[in-house]
Amino acid sequence: MTETRPARAADAENMAEVQNAIYRAGLRASPVDVALIHERYLDPDFRVACTVVEQEGRVVGFQSLKRAWPGNPYDVPEGWGIIGTHIRPDVGRSGLGRRLFAASLAAAEAAGLRHIDASIGVDNAPALAYYSAMGFAPYREGTDTVPHRFDVWSLTPRRPR
């Protein structure tokens, strides 16, 4: 059975293992530890949502959505969302990313975000394909990454004037 739910502090070790599986597959620059998971995904001041997906009680992926903060490393305008998707390579391409993005999109709408940035490594073909399938499109030049944008407001029905 597959379950999508908000991440909890108790998920940190499993979330680290998801990212380390991505690292072992050559799709991440460095391994992570539990402290880094807390710092980046579970404790941040700018967190909008962090959602995990479980299969048979095991966390196999997660997605983080934060509000861009002053001086963020992605050079994303303040007030935009910054998204990161992390799914174990052995369960990729099974619809888990779509489930995670549905939760993140609902959180983005509730938080009033109008745009979401996904800065994707130029060599990460699976992530480039995933974000394209979700409706993200490149919006500016990058060096090691290709910044993609999703316009949240374009999906929100407009009220008649």
pLDDT of res. 161: 45
pLDDT of res. 43: 86
Angle between helix axes 96-111 and 125-134 (nearest 10 degrees) is 60
As a whole number, mean pLDDT of residues 88-96 equals 89
More confident residue, 91 or 81: 81
**Where does 25-118 have alpha helices with state H?**
34-37, 96-111
> Does residue 107 contact residue 117 with C-beta atoms inside 8 Å?
no
pTM: 0.91
**3-class DSSP assignment, residue 8:** coil
**pLDDT reading at 19 higher than 90:** yes
Q: How far apart are CA 8 and CA 93, in angstroms?
A: 25
Q: In DSSP terms, which residues pair with 1 in a beta bridge? A: none
| Closest to 49 in 3D by CA, of 106, 123, 133 | 106
pLDDT of res. 123: 86
More confident residue, 160 or 36: 36
